[in-house]
């Protein structure tokens, strides 16, 4: 029985911190049915801290929603030629929300203690994974926009790293599943990020990339998703 739920929420104060990574290194961590998608010859690993607001089943009023800070590690893939995002891990504050996301969307969510503040120096964001029986992961950063707003041009690196309308995951039966995502076009700004702690790479079996990350900031937008379906 398929228990997936369509959702609505807002994404706020997003940092996209993106590292180029050899595609073969990424491919070794993906389900066999998915292929690494590259840009200018590189695969990419992205760390994305942000705050979910008004999280609720689609069709429910905003006042019924909850706030859910979140941190994810992701890459970019194709399945049958269709591009999308693949998450290696998603850390989130709420126990019930983590269990629901694992059950309804087959996503690798982990319970974490997350604190964030909007300060004069930027967004201060800290996450410490507390999920029982799993590898610990800790992330701490302060980030802020540094340049003028822009809408990514199709085919640009900024569009490649942010503009996705599908996410893929793998069910317990090994089948690839997808969830479609809908929102207005991104409005991004170049960003600076002071990352003082980041063990997400090692927690997911990756060596930390040598390059400095390419960073973008978005104040956020409204989002809806479909339920999870077999791809």
Of 75, 46, 73, 76, nearest in space to 129 by CA: 73
Q: What is the 3-state secondary structure (H, E, C) of the chain?
A: CCCCCCEEEEEEEEEEEEEEECHHHHHCCCCCCCEECCECCEEEEEEEEEEEEEEEECCCCHHHCEEEEEEEEEEEEEECCEEEEEEEEEEECCHHHHHHHHHHHCCCEEEEEEEEEEECCEEEEEEEECCCCCCCCEEEEEEEECCCCECCCCCCHHHHHHCCCEEEEECCCCCEEEEEEEECCCCEEEEEEEEEEECHHHHCCCCCCCCCCEEEEEEEEEEEECCCEEC
- In this prediction the pTM is 0.93
pLDDT score recorded for residue 91: 93
Residue 109 token pair? 């969510």
Which tens digit of pLDDT belongs to each residue from 29-57? 999 999 999 999 999 999 999 999 988 88
Provide the pLDDT for residue 1.
Answer: 41
Whether the per-residue pLDDT at 135 is higher than 90: the answer is no
Query: pLDDT grade, residue 98 (50/70/90)?
Result: low
Q: In terms of CATH, what superfamily is 7-230?
A: Acetoacetate decarboxylase-like (2.40.400.10)
Q: Which residue has the higher pLDDT, 5 or 118?
A: 118
Q: Which tens digits make up the pLDDT trace of 197-209?
A: 999 999 999 999 9
Q: How confident is the model at residue 105 (pLDDT cuts 50, 70, 90)?
A: low
């Amino acid at each position: 029985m398929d228990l997936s739920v369509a959702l609505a929420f807002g994404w706020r104060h997003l940092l996209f911190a993106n590292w180029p990574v050899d595609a073969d290194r990424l491919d070794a961590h993906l389900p066999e049915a998915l292929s690494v998608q590259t840009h200018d010859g590189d695969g990419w690993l992205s760390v994305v801290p942000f705050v979910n607001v008004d999280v609720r089943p689609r069709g429910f009023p905003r006042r019924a929603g909850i706030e859910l800070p979140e941190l994810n590690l992701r890459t970019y893939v194709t399945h049958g030629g269709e591009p999308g995002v693949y998450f290696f891990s998603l850390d989130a504050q709420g126990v019930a929300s983590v269990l629901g996301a694992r059950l309804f969307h087959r996503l690798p969510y982990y319970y974490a203690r997350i604190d964030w503040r909007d300060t004069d120096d930027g967004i201060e964001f800290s996450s410490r994974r507390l999920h029982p029986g799993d590898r610990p992961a800790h992330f701490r950063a302060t980030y802020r926009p540094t340049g003028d707003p822009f809408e990514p041009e199709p085919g640009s690196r900024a569009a490649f790293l942010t503009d996705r309308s599908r996410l893929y995951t793998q069910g317990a039966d090994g089948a690839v599943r997808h969830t479609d995502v809908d929102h207005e076009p991104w409005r991004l700004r170049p960003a600076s990020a002071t990352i003082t702690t980041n063990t997400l790479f090692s927690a997911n079996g990756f060596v930390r990339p040598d390059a400095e990350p390419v960073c973008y900031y978005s104040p956020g937008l409204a989002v809806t998703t479909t339920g999870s379906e077999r791809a």
